[in-house]
Amino acid sequence: MRPKGRNCDHFRRLSTEGPDRPLTERELAFMDEHRLQCADCAEFERTACLSLNMLRGAALLPESAQGFDERLMRRLRVDNARASFRYWSPALVGALIACFALFAALQMITQPTRLKGVTIPGGEARMSRAHAYPSLELVHTPSIQ
């Protein structure tokens, strides 16, 4: 059912524009005349009208959205909480790192360079240094006979 000529094109354009704007007397007269002359265009108009009517008749009406508001409010709160966490999380991480660094610095400052001697009752605490053991001189190594 392809348009045969310019008249058919014009007729089809008018038939699709028909629902959107009032057609002029001249356009209506042209359509009436062409409809009688061209069976294909008449069929086109009929099927176009039927299909659109069927589409309009198939409009879905939403069911009552029970609990929609509550669900949405809950989602909004969760969303807000997440957004604020996302907003503040870099600052929190930075603050944690700063705290850790400060703590480490304080530890290093207050830490004594030597360990304090601990006196254990009934026992003896000794601080010993590694003795410098005499090294064997290879020249004086006794030979084993």
Partner 1 sequence: MNMQAGITMFDSNAANLAGQEALIQERQWVSRCRVGDETALGFLIARHRNRLIRTATNLLRDRHEAEDVAQESFLKAFREIAKLRDDRAFSGYLYRICVRLCMDRLRLKRAELIEFDSPQPHAGGMVENRVVIEKLLNQMPPDLRTTLVLRELEQLSYEEVAEVMRVPIGTVRSRLHTARERFRKLWVEAVGE
Q: Which is nearer to partner 1, 34 or 45 (CB)?
A: 45
Q: Other CB atoms closer than 10 Å to residue 8's CB: what's the count?
A: 18
- Residue choice 68, 85, 88, 103 for contact with partner 1 (CB under 8 A): 68
- Residue choice 5, 57, 90, 142 for contact with partner 1 (CB under 8 A): 57
Q: Which is nearer to partner 1, 68 or 100 (CB)?
A: 68
Residues composing the chain: 145
Question: CA-CA distances (angstroms) from residue 11 to 19, 53, 137?
Answer: 14, 20, 121
Neighbour-count burial of 40, counting CB atoms closer than 10 A to its CB (0-12 exposed, 13-18 middle, 19+ buried):
middle
Told to check if 44 binds partner 1 by CB under 8 A, we report yes
Tokens of 137: 């001189």
Told to check if 59 binds partner 1 by CB under 8 A, we report yes
- Which 8-state DSSP code applies to residue 3? -
Q: Which is nearer to partner 1, 37 or 84 (CB)?
A: 84
Q: Note the residues at the interface with partner 1 (CB under 8 A).
A: 12-13, 16-17, 20, 44, 47-48, 50-52, 54-63, 65, 68-69, 71-73, 75-76, 79, 83
